[in-house]
Every structure is written in C-alpha cells, then in structure tokens.
Amino acid sequence: MAGALPEPALRRKQALDGDFDALKREATAWVVRLTSGTATAEDADALRIWRARSSEHERAFREVKRLWNNLGPALADKRRPVPLVGRRSFLAAGGVAASAAGAAFILSDLGFLPPVNRLLADYTTAVGEQKSIALPDGSTAVLDGKSALVMGYTEDARHLSLTAGAAVFEVEGADPRPFVVSAADGKSTLSSGTLSLAHAVDEVSVECIQGTVEVDCQASITLMKGEGVVYSSAGLGQKATAEVETAAAWRKGLLVFNDRPLGDVVADLNRHRRGKVMLASNALGSRRVSGVFHLDRPQEILAHFENALHIRSVSLVGGIVLLM
C-alpha cells in the first residue's frame, strides 16, 4: 500500500508508541496518586524525579495533566456528585475510585491538602507568597498568594489559564500572537498592556490597568484603562470604573475592598493568612463590607469584620477561624 512504512520501521514505530502509552499510564497513576488525598511530600519529589528521566516522560505527564485540567471543573463542582462518565477510563488507569478524588476535593477545600489545580499547575505560590514569572514571549506574570497558573502557548496564541488565586499580567506587544488568559468560565484577550485577574467565590474580576482588554463570557465586552468587569457562570456583569492605583493592591501589601461580599473578601484573605477563615452560612458571605488593611496584620481585618457586621469569630485548631 502506498505510503506504508517498511516492516522494520513499522515495528519500531509500534514499539515507540507502545512505550509512550506505557509512560502515559504511569503518568496517569502519578496524577491520580497526587489527587487521591493520600499524597505526601515524598510523592511530589518522586514525581519530579520521574518527569526528569527523559523528554518523553515529561511529555507524557503534560498530556495527562492537560486531560485532567480540561475535565477537572466538572469534578471540582462540589454542588453535584462526582461524575464517573467520561473519567472512568482515566481513573481506572491509576487503579483508584472516583470517590478518592472527591475526598481530596473536600479535604483541600478545608485546607488540609493542596487542591488539584495547584498540584497540576506549571507555576504556583504558597499562602502569603508572591512570585514574578518571566514568560517565554517576554511578558511577565505576577502571582498573588495561593495561586496557580497553567501554560498553554501555541503557534497561534499565548494562552494561559489562571486556575486559582489572582495575578497581574504585563503583556509584551512585540509578539503578534494574542495573549489570552482563561479563568473559570471566561477568558480575557489583549495584544499588549497590563491586566489584573482574581478569583472570588463564584466569579472572576478583571481590571484593565493599561491598554485594551476583550473579556468573553457568553458575551463580549471591551475594557479600556481604568475599567473592570466581573463574570460568572451566569455571564458578564456590568462594566465599572476600576481604580488603577489600587488595582491588585496585594502587590503593595494591602487588601482593599469597597462594598464587596464578605465571602469574596475572605477568599482574598485566605490567600495571605496561614490557616483558613470560614463562614458559618452562605447568608453571611453575601453581606457587604468595605475597608483598607495591611495584609501582614490579618487580626485587624478579622476584628473589622466583627465590629462592622456585628458577628463573632471562633478560633479552632490549625489556624482555622469560623465567622458566625
């Protein structure tokens, strides 16, 4: 048959394909292990050694990680049962049940385990840590505490995914490819300029610090310098004025909030404070608060919540504080 490989070459190709399939099965086992709720620091170190064994090991891990990242949001939605359809073969390759992954999500939500998006991200920051990352095109990403960023550059676009936390992107305009940052249900695109994104409880906030940004989430909106918008699974919110001087105030060691839901402010605080602040009810999380505080003095922030909202806090083990 025209175009067919000679028999020896075909056998070599089949052997290589088989070897790579075996590596993907090993990579799947690693991903499942890290998201099972039983992973240790030693497991993370062992994975780094495994990935460094060859370029094929690294490629296999990235392919499996990309599959997990693409399917992960459905599993991460704790409002419905963990789905088995579509992930059964993936999980079976690692030999564990989906219930283990579901348990990992519950534990990570309480702060006892790192969440999946951090385990599988290309860049992460710890609680209270900030990190500046030089991107391949000359752009820069500055990550806030407890953030996770996934790289996905292609020939057609400079694509990144902010899967947790907050970040500021300073985009180099010499590269003709669009710079696209996905976060939750939407994406933000610009050719050059500076963009701030932050995950809240149920939405993502976008602020244009410099340049022009197109935000897509069921519809599209264009932001100019000093404008911002929030989006969620329900779509885009209304465009609003954004203070460029206070955008991403965490870079200056400040937490600035103006008439924001308490739940979102607590999510910001938890990126910078050891332990975890938790709310006793969803109703409490919807109450609005304002203030400007130093991130290195979290007790002042908690005291403000108590005084402004007439609530009380209960301190538990492990730095956990319950607001009620």
What is the domain-level CATH number for residue 271?
3.55.50.30
* Same-domain pairing of 171 and 140: yes
Task: List pLDDT tens digits, range 14-63.
Answer: 444 557 788 888 887 777 777 665 667 677 778 888 888 888 888 888 77
Single residue among 63, 95, 119 that ends a domain in this structure? 119
What's the average model confidence in pLDDT over 221-250? Answer: 91
* Interacting residues of 4 by C-beta distance below 8 A, sequence separation 6+: 10
* Same-domain pairing of 63 and 33: yes
Single residue among 218, 241, 264 that ends a domain in this structure? 241
Residue whose C-alpha is closest to residue 157's, from 191, 127, 128:
191
* Same-domain pairing of 210 and 274: no
* Same-domain pairing of 181 and 264: no
Q: Which range among 114-118, 161-165, 166-170 shows the weakest confidence by mean pLDDT?
A: 114-118
**Taking 80 as the threshold, does the pLDDT of residue 298 lie above it?**
yes
Residue whose C-alpha is closest to residue 120's, from 31, 180, 182:
31
pLDDT score at 43: 75
* Same-domain pairing of 128 and 101: no
What's the average model confidence in pLDDT over 206-220? Answer: 96
pLDDT score at 83: 38
* Same-domain pairing of 46 and 92: yes
Tokens of 106: 């519950």
**Taking 50 as the threshold, does the pLDDT of residue 251 lie above it?**
yes
Task: List pLDDT tens digits, range 107-151.
Answer: 444 444 455 566 678 898 988 899 999 999 999 999 999 999 988
Structural domain harbouring 144 = 123-241
Q: Is residue 248 part of a domain?
A: no
pLDDT score at 152: 86
Alpha-carbon gap, residue 281 to 300, rounded angstroms:
22
Alpha-carbon gap, residue 120 to 171, rounded angstroms:
24
Mean pLDDT of the chain: 79
* pTM for the predicted model, two decimal places: 0.69
Q: Is residue 2 part of a domain?
A: no
Residue whose C-alpha is closest to residue 117's, from 73, 78, 172:
73
Q: Is residue 109 part of a domain?
A: yes
Single residue among 241, 267, 288 that ends a domain in this structure? 241
**Taking 90 as the threshold, does the pLDDT of residue 280 lie above it?**
no
Task: List pLDDT tens digits, range 189-202.
Answer: 999 999 999 999 88
Tokens of 15: 């052997």
pLDDT score at 70: 58
Number of domains in the chain: 3
* Same-domain pairing of 184 and 293: no
Q: Is residue 246 part of a domain?
A: no
Looking at per-residue pLDDT, the higher value among 297 and 206 belongs to: 206
CB 27 within 8 A of CB 96: no
